[in-house]
Amino acid sequence: MSHSHEHDHEASAAISNRVKHLIGTLERRGILTESQVDATIHSFLSKARPANGFRVVARAWVDGEFKQRLLTDATSAVGELGVDLSHWAPVRIRAVENTHALHNVIVCTLCSCYPLSLLGPSPTWYKSEAYRSRVVRDPRSVLDEFGVRLAPDKEVRVWDSTSELRYFVVPERPAGTGSLSEAELGELVTTNGLIGTALV
């Protein structure tokens, strides 16, 4: 997928400068230090791992009742597996399932809202203007660039995340995996699969 790398670099530099300015202001006012900010971010990211999402999907593949709860109320269902979403309040999570007739893909057209606790830090391309604008207008072409080639009669549905509601995809369970354990199934799942830009 092609991106405007120069534009992305300029945007990242502008954000970095704003963050440095904000931290400097907070330090001067005695509110908190840069090391405290770093410690908070490190603590948050240490719990925000793609493995969380992989486990959720693997459980859904082996436990039909859990999958139904996941599709009905993902926020509660992921909590059953010990995934902490409390720092997101009041953000809700919604799981959307790929089937033989439907392929889902997620995006945040306004910025880069993303279920960090389940998918880990978002890929650079997910935050790019190119992806955010094109996947809504022409999802099949974007998916094709990721190597996801779908049958013409398969519906493609794009889900636009917001600050209050984040989506993730439950991919179709691969054929021939009936003998695999839940842990082994989790190893088949990928971050792109949870976004919808890859098949599992």
Q: Identify whether residues 176 and 121 lie together within a single domain.
A: yes
Q: Are residues 23 and 78 in the same domain?
A: no
How many separate domains does the chain show?
2
Distance of CA 150 to the CA centre of its chain: 21
- 150 and 177 in a common domain: yes
Kindly report, residue by residue over 53-100, the tens digit of the pLDDT. Answer: 999 999 999 999 999 999 999 999 999 998 877 665 567 899 999 999
Which is the catalytic residue, given 12, 43, 76, 111? 111
| 82 in any annotated domain | yes
State the pLDDT at residue 4: 44
Please say if 112 is a catalytic residue.
yes
On whether both 34 and 122 belong to a single domain, the answer is no
How far is residue 44's CA from residue 178's CA, in Å, rounded to a whole number?
35
Let me know: does 157 contact 104? Beta carbons within 8 Å: yes
Residues 98 and 14 in one domain: no
User: What is the structure's pLDDT at 117?
Assistant: 83
Q: Is position 12 annotated as part of the catalytic site? A: no
Same-domain pairing of 5 and 36? yes
Enumerate residue ranges in the chain where pLDDT < 70. 1-13, 15, 38-48, 86-90
The domain of 9 spans 1-47
Quick one: pLDDT at residue 178?
Answer: 94
Quote the CA–CA distance of 185 and 48 in Å, as a whole number: 20
Residue 103 belongs to a domain: yes
Q: H/E element holding 95? A: strand 92-97
| Tens-place pLDDT, residues 14-25 | 767 787 888 888
Same-domain pairing of 3 and 19? yes
CA 66 → CA 47, 52, 59, 72, distances in Å? 22, 15, 7, 10
Are both 13 and 110 inside the same structural domain? Answer: no
- Same domain? For 56 and 33 the reply is no
CATH of the domain at 81: 3.90.330.10
- 46 in active site: no
181 assigned to active site: no
The answer as to whether 200 is a domain residue is no
Q: What is the pLDDT of residue 46?
A: 55
Same domain for 56 and 123 = yes
